[in-house]
Amino acid sequence: MIDLAEVRALGNITEAKGLTIADVEPVLLSYAFPEDDGPAWSGGQLQGFTAGLVRITTSDGLYGIGETYAGNFAPDVVAALVTYYRSYLVGEDASRIADLWDRCYSRTLYWGRSGIAIATLSGIECALWDLCGKALGRPCVDLLGGAVHDSVACYASGGLDVSIGQLDRELRRYAADGFRAAKIRTGSDPESDFAKASAARTSLGPEAGLAVDAVQGSNPQPWGAQEAIACGKLLEPLGLIWYEEPCAATDIEGYVACRRALDIPIAGGESTTTAEELNRFLTADALDIAQPDASHIGGILEARKAGALAESRSIDLAMHAWGAGVCVMENVHVGFAMPNCRWLEIPVVPNPLIDVLRLEPLEVRDGRIAAPTRPGLGVQLTPEIEAAYPYRPKHHYQFEDRRGVASRWEA
Ligand SMILES: [Mg+2]
């Protein structure tokens, strides 16, 4: 098992030495859903998606791209923070990823130890990995010590608030696309959640993996443990692969209570920033499955550290990814490098930014994907893509108070 010092050592890539950083820029891209047709979940409705990308160029004209999931929450803040960090990076050697991360972190200790500062640093850090991989002609997973899996199970992540008929069509399409597992969003109230999850089980059949995400980590009025357990009790007979974010992101005791009371694996941790923050869940025995996200936790190396900490407690990983294509690839690369990574999340919502930024589509065969082989993260950002998806303010997550409102899927 790798220790944290060994993980950190992976982040200074001597073979890539000599890549001088010339510029670090934020690139925001938006996709707008047709008016009032955006998917909804228990915390609000989507007007669109905004990808918070970071482009790092070298004096030789090479570039790397990273993505922070925070771009979907606060794109203007992400852009300002990337510009802030720029002064600590320009002129430095891009191969010193771990040193540069420490430098940025140490300069923002008073105000940037967690939250959006770390989330933004994720996009910068991942752009450095992409740059080094592209410069060496090697996939990032190789630079992390190589893939430790031939293939990893993945799941179709969707199932927002739609009608039962639409949900059924969606889930059957995932199966036709090669998925053997899917995740749906719940988090309304126990009865509605049970009805939706039961319908999903019927659509998928008894053999397929079904996960339920209560999304309480970002709900403006999250459940307490009592509600989470009441809902979980109803879900128990459905044979779920996990029950995700049943409580608020800070309610570690709520997670512990769910684990004690329920016979379903409890998953969470997607919004943690830094491996240390995820470790608070791990040390409290709050999770059966940890869900770090390289595009949010601080980057690929922080995700790798989180994975090592989970492994030391025999906890499996289901990598989180709900951003655009760069975010997906960041988590695919780091997931393939970690022995305890059991699942990769593949967002299947109608967002073209998931596909266009990747050099090739992810091929799902019999519910699994193969290790990535393209240099860097296998991503691209062309002038055509930038022109096609210009940044549109307010086309990011908008949160509403939807407690007590019958969820749209019942219509
Ligand atoms: Mg989730």
Give the tens place of pLDDT for each residue, 25-78: 999 999 988 876 777 777 777 788 999 999 999 999 999 999 999 999 999 999
Among the listed ranges 142-156, 323-337, 349-363, which one has the minimum average pLDDT value?
Answer: 349-363
Q: State mean pLDDT over 83-112.
A: 98
Selection from 97, 121, 98 nearest residue 109 by Cα: 121
pLDDT given at position 324: 97
CA of 347 to the centre of ligand 1 (A): 11
CA of 149 to the centre of ligand 1 (A): 24
CA dihedral in degrees (41, 43, 49, 53; nearest 10)?
A: -130
Q: Which two tokens stand for residue 297?
A: 């936790």
CA of 105 to the centre of ligand 1 (A): 26
Q: State mean pLDDT over 186-199.
A: 94
Q: How far apart are CA 144 and CA 159, in angstroms?
A: 33
Q: Which two tokens stand for residue 323?
A: 């951003």
- Pairing status of strand 266-268 against strand 368-370: unpaired
CA of 373 to the centre of ligand 1 (A): 27
pLDDT given at position 401: 64
CA of 289 to the centre of ligand 1 (A): 12
Q: State mean pLDDT over 214-218.
A: 94
Average pLDDT of the chain, as a whole number: 94
Q: In the predicted model, is pLDDT for residue 410 greater than 50?
A: no
CA of 198 to the centre of ligand 1 (A): 19
CA of 143 to the centre of ligand 1 (A): 28
Q: Which two tokens stand for residue 269?
A: 């941790």
CA of 137 to the centre of ligand 1 (A): 33
| pLDDT category of residue 406 using cuts at 50, 70 and 90 | very low
CA of 12 to the centre of ligand 1 (A): 31
Q: Which two tokens stand for residue 91?
A: 């002129």
CA of 128 to the centre of ligand 1 (A): 26
Q: State mean pLDDT over 280-290.
A: 98
Q: In the predicted model, is pLDDT for residue 292 greater than 80?
A: yes
Strand order in the sheet with 48-58: 21-32, 48-58, 63-68
pLDDT given at position 326: 98
Residue 314 half-sphere exposure, CB side, CA atoms within 13 Å?
0
| pLDDT category of residue 126 using cuts at 50, 70 and 90 | very high
CA of 345 to the centre of ligand 1 (A): 10
pLDDT given at position 402: 58
Q: Which residues contact 199 (CB under 8 A, 6 or more apart)?
A: 164, 167, 168
Q: In the predicted model, is pLDDT for residue 409 greater than 60?
A: no
Q: Which residues surround ligand 1, an ion (CB under 5 A)?
A: 213
CA of 334 to the centre of ligand 1 (A): 18
- Pairing status of strand 40-41 against strand 44-46: antiparallel
pLDDT given at position 403: 54
Hey, is 411 helix, strand or coil? coil
Q: Which two tokens stand for residue 328?
A: 């997906």
CA of 215 to the centre of ligand 1 (A): 5
CA of 244 to the centre of ligand 1 (A): 6
Q: Which residues contact 297 (CB under 8 A, 6 or more apart)?
A: 118, 122, 272, 273, 274, 275, 277, 278, 303, 306
pLDDT digits (tens, 9 = 90+) for 362-401: 999 999 999 999 999 999 999 999 999 999 987 888 777 6
Q: State mean pLDDT over 125-150.
A: 98
CA of 79 to the centre of ligand 1 (A): 24
pLDDT given at position 408: 40
CA of 270 to the centre of ligand 1 (A): 7
Q: State mean pLDDT over 111-127.
A: 98
Q: How far apart are CA 411 and CA 408, in angstroms?
A: 6
CA of 268 to the centre of ligand 1 (A): 7
Among the listed ranges 85-94, 196-205, 397-406, which one has the minimum average pLDDT value?
Answer: 397-406
Q: In the predicted model, is pLDDT for residue 244 greater than 50?
A: yes
Hey, is 172 helix, strand or coil? helix
Q: How far apart are CA 171 and CA 324, in angstroms?
A: 21
Residue 139 half-sphere exposure, CB side, CA atoms within 13 Å?
21
Q: What percent of the chain has pLDDT over 90?
A: 88
